[in-house]
Amino acid sequence: MPWQSIREPNTQRHDEPTPDIERSHYFSPSRFYCVETITAPCGVVIAWTKFHKSESPTNTLNFLESVYPTAESCPDYICIDKACLLLRTAISNGSWDRIWKHTTWFIVDSYHYINHRVGDYICRKWCNPAPLNGSAPNLVVVEKDKHGRSYYKRAFNTQACEQLNAWLGGFESILKRTTQGNFDWFLHSMLFYHSRYVMEKQMKRPYMEEEKDVESDFEDDT
């Protein structure tokens, strides 16, 4: 329809500010811009919310502050595709010196990091998800392959949110036709189900590893 606005593609959408979209008409129903989730590296959903107009760094920082209100509750790392923008905004609005400087390191997830500008010094210096200069030993660990050769490996899964988004994409046709109340209920229920499934799977892992050890011992004895 001629009155429906068309969004222009943004080649650097993950390291450029997201503009607020102004409504020029009221011929179509209002929709939320996106759903924002906070997910642990294991896949458990910690929190979620809806952004009305844009996924701006300011909205994201406000959401993070609402989920982590105290310094003790803040995580050591926050991995997000717009980490460099988040860092710049936090410095400019004062929340960096007030909160995040003392608690948290903003890093870009490994998938989106390759699309960020190579010449962006702040992003490459402070938001690198796998620095090899020893500045973040908790992000990169040294493992050995089957030949005994050492290699670097990411210590955590930085794609947990992207994997969750891909899973939620299967329910898009249902969610986009629901009312606001049904949307909240359905999405919260599915995220609860997903988190419970992940936790049950994590609880079974030690038992599965123990079973493997028993089998290997049995093979050695025979």
Measured CA distances, 74 to 77, 104, 128, 130, 199 (Å): 9, 7, 19, 21, 21
**Beta-carbon contacts of residue 45 (< 8 Å; ≥ 6 apart):** 37, 38, 39, 164, 191, 192, 194, 195
- State which H helix or E strand residue 91 sits in: helix 83-93
Cα of first residue to Cα of last residue in the chain, in angstroms, is 73
pLDDT of 91-127, one tens digit each? 999 999 999 999 999 999 887 887 777 778 888 888 8
Indicate the residue type of 122. I
Indicate the residue type of 142. V
In the chain, domain spans: 34-217
pLDDT of residue 30: 62
* Tokens, residue 26: 């009221």
pLDDT of residue 153: 85
| Strand pairing report for 77-79 and 105-107 | parallel
- Please give the model's pTM, rounded to 2 decimal places: 0.76
List the one residue out of 43, 95, 33 whose CA is nearest residue 64.
95
pLDDT of 20-66, one tens digit each? 556 555 555 567 888 999 999 999 999 999 998 888 999 999 999 99
Q: What is the rounded CA–CA span in Å between residue 94 and residue 72?
A: 19
Tell which wins on pLDDT, 8 or 198. 198
Least confidently predicted of 8-12, 14-18, 163-167: 8-12
Q: What is the mean pLDDT of residues 9-27?
A: 54
Contact between 20 and 54 (Cβ < 8 Å): yes
Contact between 42 and 198 (Cβ < 8 Å): yes
Q: What is the rounded CA–CA span in Å between residue 180 and residue 195?
A: 22
Q: What is the rounded CA–CA span in Å between residue 129 and residue 106?
A: 9
List the one residue out of 197, 203, 117, 110 whose CA is nearest residue 161.
110
